[in-house]
Chains A and B, each alone.
Chain A
Amino acid sequence: MSDLRALLAQARPEPGARLEAPQTSLALRDLAGLTGLGSSRAALAGRNVMVRTERQITAAQALVELDGLARRIVLCPPDLAPEHLEHVLRTAEVDAVVIDAPDAALARTDAPLQTLGQPDTPLLPPPAPALETEWVLFTSGTTGAPKLVTHSLAGLTGAITPPQGGAPRPVWATFYDVRRYGGLQILLRALLGGCALVLSDAAEEFRDHLARLAGLGVTHLTGTPSHWRRLLMSPDATRIAPAYVRLSGEIADQPVLDGLRAMFPTARIVHAYASTEAGVGFEVTDGLEGFPQDFVGRPSPVELRVIDGVLHIRSPRAAFGYLGPDAPMLVDDDGFIDSGDMVELAGGRWRFVGRRNGVINVGGLKVHPEEVEAVVNSHPAVRMSLVRARRNPITGAVVTADVALIEPNAAASPEQKAALRASIMAMCRSVLPTHKAPATIRFVPDLAVTAGGKLDRFHD
């Protein structure tokens, strides 16, 4: 397979097609034909190169520069905690780092740093035969050190259909960060299609972002259901008129799909199921939540099966595996990946009902229930608690706690209940990030415990 720069050149981007960030932009033609690494290219050839940039646009540039040149690209997400950097550098055997700004967290590493500049130097001499660069992405949002997942460019681009000649080229935009799987998918769609892409910026006001999307004439816009709900609640939403609306990364429920249909009546609205490990699994185009019954078990390049209520996926777009000496196996003996996503069949439709490990997704931020339970249980009035997801139309889910008290009579009256609830919530907010603190608390006489003495998380 050709490297990313060659694929971009083959797409023959129009002169106006650019990667657009709030203060700066890059022409795709310059990305295809010029380099911002100058003589550093030679120093990065065949290396395991970490891309750790402040800005998305330089990360995108680095990917084009490094695919086919580096042995391995390790794409740092924006929120990698500095304390995990050492683990990542070691596990991925990083021996060079591309940056776009001074980075204090890298001060103690031995790996040589290369600062990426504007692409302004012609690629001379002609690039040597391209390497099959290995791409390393990070699993998102879990506590502890992130897992490193290895992909190939062929796998990452496997769900992308080639652009059709003659049709006007899309203007892509995404609310995601391109340094994560969901955003990277959109970057690759833009690069392989030679299309403009409007990048998000965490520091930008939502209203300014929308104004930029409108000004640049975005036609294809992607984000999580939480991103889209935020858009639906904005009076400026009508300034944009995307022809293609894509949701992924969280469960797309019927209200958000209906809200988008009402807001953008002529748009093609698609919700996709994808994960960093399994890649793009499938797309749903009928405007209904969940996915059709016959998706499971049908012959297809991407096969689905449901085992004990959990979705398993076998896909040519899946990752090769996890990186590192103690890494768990990614696929089972049949080549299927256990997604950990629980589904239920009703009325000919599979619907997502949560994560098997109980992890709660609050607007894209993940919460481990045990971490919250430990805090709730430290309240002097609490005997034990069960923390779980509660469906929510704004953030997909919020955290809720069922609490059993040491003295059940302590919450006999409504006033006592309210006071105790407020006291437990205040304690949680004082030690946990706001999205992890329970949004609601329910007092229960008792909590179910399994035969093994653990909290029964699946007891209704």
Chain B
Amino acid sequence: MPDPQVHASGDGPSDASIRALVATAFEATAVDQQRDLQPLSDELLLLESGLDSLCFAIIVAQLEDELGVDPFSEMDDAFFPTTFGEFVRLYQAAAPDQAAA
């Protein structure tokens, strides 16, 4: 069961709050895993962000608990993000659907 920590109402979280949440997850995971995170920007390549596959796996699992959505497993078009901006947009696109469901 996801923890409904972010949006208790029927309205999904805003794009800005999702971006902030994703950024926080990146930063917290980098600290936990003792990784040197590069400054977050839309263009930052995920594989050059300082995080490894395990870090991304942890971020996806924690975001699923917070947002109630795993966009990788629910997306219609197969698409793996390569940049931080694409990663954020994946969650922005997926979160409102989930909130409406």
Contact = CB atoms under 8 A, between A and B. Distances in A.
B78 A258 contact: yes
Interface residues of B, number: 28
B58 A439 contact: yes
A425 B65 CA distance: 16
Nearest to B62: A440
A262 B77 contact: yes
Contact of A394 (B5, B45, B56, B82): B56
Contacts of B82: 233-235
B79 A262 contact: yes
Interface residues of A, number: 37
Interface string A409-448: 0000010010000000110010000110001101000000
Given A234-B82, A262-B78, A435 B73 contact: no
B47 interface: yes
B16 interface: no
A255 B75 contact: yes
Interface string B72-99: 1101011111110000000000000000
A17 interface: no
A261 B78 CA distance: 8
A229 interface: yes
A417 B54 CA distance: 23
B1 interface: yes
A313 B46 CA distance: 40
B62 A230 contact: no
Interface in A238-269: 253, 255, 258-263
A398 B61 contact: yes
B30 interface: no
Contacts of B46: 233
A439 B78 CA distance: 25
B86 to A, nearest CB: 10
B80 A398 contact: no
B22 interface: no
Contact of A206 (B47, B73, B75, B78): B47
Contacts of B61: 390, 392, 398, 400, 439-440
Contact of A226 (B53, B73, B80): B53
Contacts of A226: 53
A395 interface: yes
B57 interface: yes
Contacts of B53: 226, 229-230, 363, 394-395
Interface of B: 1, 3, 5, 32-33, 45-47, 53-54, 56-58, 60-62, 65, 70, 72-73, 75, 77-83
The 6 residue pairs across chains A and B that have the minimum distance between CB atoms: A258-B78, A393-B72, A232-B80, A394-B57, A395-B57, A262-B78
